[in-house]
Amino acid sequence: MEASAALSLKSSSWIGSEKGGRRSEGFSRFQSGIWEKKRVQSLGLIDSRCHRVSIRSGKLEPKISCCYKKSGGTESIHNSVDEALVLKRKSEDVLPYLNGRCIYLVGMMGSGKTTVGKILSEVLGYSFFDSDKLVEQAVGISSVAQIFKLHSEAFFRDNESEVLRDLSSMRRLVVATGGGAVIRPINWKYMKQGLTVWLDVPLEALARRIAAVGTASRPLLHQDSGDPYMKAFARLSALSEQRGDAYANADARVSLEHIATKQGHEDVSALTPTAIAIEAFVKIESFLTDKAAVRNSSLPSGMSA
């Protein structure tokens, strides 16, 4: 397998919102099993929904273009600013507890792992990687759907595991994993080198999202004919049944239904990616502080970790 080749910057062409990565305190390049540290300045806090990265002469040059929809009034502007400030504060609270550990986002297809992952990485000053994109780079095929078609799901999963293995030796990364990454126990071994966060989205909302954009890029859904929403919902329900227990292995669970209830929304589609990222930090902090408390309680009196 050639999955580790996906992490080589020489062979990469990550241009666009789905293909970038940045690290404020040393970006690591993997080539022939060796990561070469590259210093890249921090980009600071931005809205990562329109994030572009280009490569010139083998160097990562982060470029930002932020897209903002016209606000319905000053209230929504203030809400966006408030969310950004809360996000920044929560990242500062969590950062010391992370101590450089990676964050792996798991969840069903369409759950927003890439969007939320980019926001988390930007505010933490971490690099961002999408494991599906790295597999595509490794095998030289432009989409997961094509990999499934030309080879097999097993071929894809083997390369996915190799990518996660390589990433597990790194620090200060946020990784958006594929929806099925959780089904292999070996992948959990790799991801547990860092911190795992489950983005738990209601199946109805996932089906609406996927039906709206089509299933062509979703190889596990693009098989049957019929109404796009009903087809997506039926298949997602079956996948959720198979993977539910695996997702529950994550260190932290971010329930979009819970966030929507707290904010008084009836539909999770009303949530902003920033609000979801804030909740992710809340859950990460809770997990890490609880873990630290347990560790300290096991130490002799008068000592702390």
Beta bridge partners of 59: 56
Candidates 185, 193, 197; CA nearest to 285 is 197
Distance CA 34, CA 174 (A): 20
Q: For the chain, how many structural domains are there in total? A: 1
Q: 258: domain range?
A: 77-297
In a domain, 255, yes or no: yes
- Confidence (pLDDT) at 17: 35
pLDDT in tens, 135-163: 999 999 999 999 999 999 999 999 999 99
In a domain, 254, yes or no: yes
In a domain, 34, yes or no: no
DSSP state of 64: E
| Enclosing H/E stretch for 17 | none
In a domain, 41, yes or no: no
Around Cβ 99, how many Cβ atoms within 10 Å? 9
Kindly state the percentage of the chain with pLDDT values over 70.
67
Distance CA 164, CA 188 (A): 9
**Burial bucket for residue 197 (CB in 10 Å: 0-12, 13-18, 19+):** buried
CATH number of the domain to which 85 belongs: 3.40.50.300
- Confidence (pLDDT) at 299: 62
Distance CA 162, CA 99 (A): 25
84's tokens: 């950004």
In a domain, 185, yes or no: yes
pLDDT at 177 over 90: yes
In a domain, 33, yes or no: no
In a domain, 157, yes or no: yes
pLDDT in tens, 6-62: 454 333 322 233 333 333 333 333 433 333 333 333 333 333 333 333 323 333 333
Confidence of residue 207 (pLDDT cuts 50, 70, 90): very high
- The model carries a pTM of 0.73
